[in-house]
Amino acid sequence: MISSRLVPRISAAVAIAATCTVAACSSKGDTAADSALAAAATDTFPSQEGMIDVPGGKVWYRKIGNGPGVPLLAMHGGPGGTSCRFEVLAPLANERPVIFYDQLGSGRSEHPTDTSLWNFPRFVQEVEAVRRALKLDSVHLLGHSWGGALAAEYMIVAKPSGVKSVVFSSPLISTPRWIADADSLREQLPESIQKVLDDNEKAGTLDSPAYKAATDSFYARHVRRLPTPTIARCEGVTSNDTIYRQMWGPTEFLANGSLKSWTRSADMDEITTPSLFIAGEFDEARPTTLEEFRKTMPDARLVVIPGGAHAAMREKPAEYIAAVRAFLAEVEKKAP
198 CB-near residues (< 8 Å, 6+ apart): none
Confidence category of residue 335, pLDDT binned at 50, 70, 90:
confident
Report the pLDDT value the prediction gives residue 93, as an integer from 0 to 100: 94
Residues 269-313 pLDDT 10s: 999 999 999 999 999 999 999 999 999 999 999 999 999 999 999
155, pLDDT greater than 80: yes
10 Å CB burial of residue 110 (0-12, 13-18, 19+) is: middle
- Looking at the chain, the whole-number percentage of residues with pLDDT higher than 70 is 88
The Cα 304–Cα 313 span in angstroms is 11
- Pairing mode, if any, of strands 98-101 and 163-169? unpaired
Report the pLDDT value the prediction gives residue 160, as an integer from 0 to 100: 98
Is residue 283 among the annotated active site residues? yes
7, pLDDT greater than 60: no
Contact 319/32 with Cβ under 8 angstroms?
no
Confidence category of residue 36, pLDDT binned at 50, 70, 90:
low
> Which residue out of 106, 145, 169, 239 is catalytically annotated?
145
Residues 39-70 pLDDT 10s: 454 578 999 999 999 999 999 999 999 999 99
Residues 100-140 pLDDT 10s: 999 999 999 999 999 999 999 999 999 999 999 999 999 99
Is residue 145 among the annotated active site residues? yes
The Cβ of residue 114 has, within 10 Å, a number of other Cβ atoms equal to: 9
Chosen CATH of 4-185+228-334 out of 3.30.420.40, 3.40.50.720, 3.30.420.10, 3.40.50.1820: 3.40.50.1820
99, pLDDT greater than 90: yes
Contact 186/214 with Cβ under 8 angstroms?
no
Is residue 310 among the annotated active site residues? yes
Report the pLDDT value the prediction gives residue 232, as an integer from 0 to 100: 86
Confidence category of residue 249, pLDDT binned at 50, 70, 90:
very high
Query: What is the pTM assigned to this prediction?
Result: 0.90
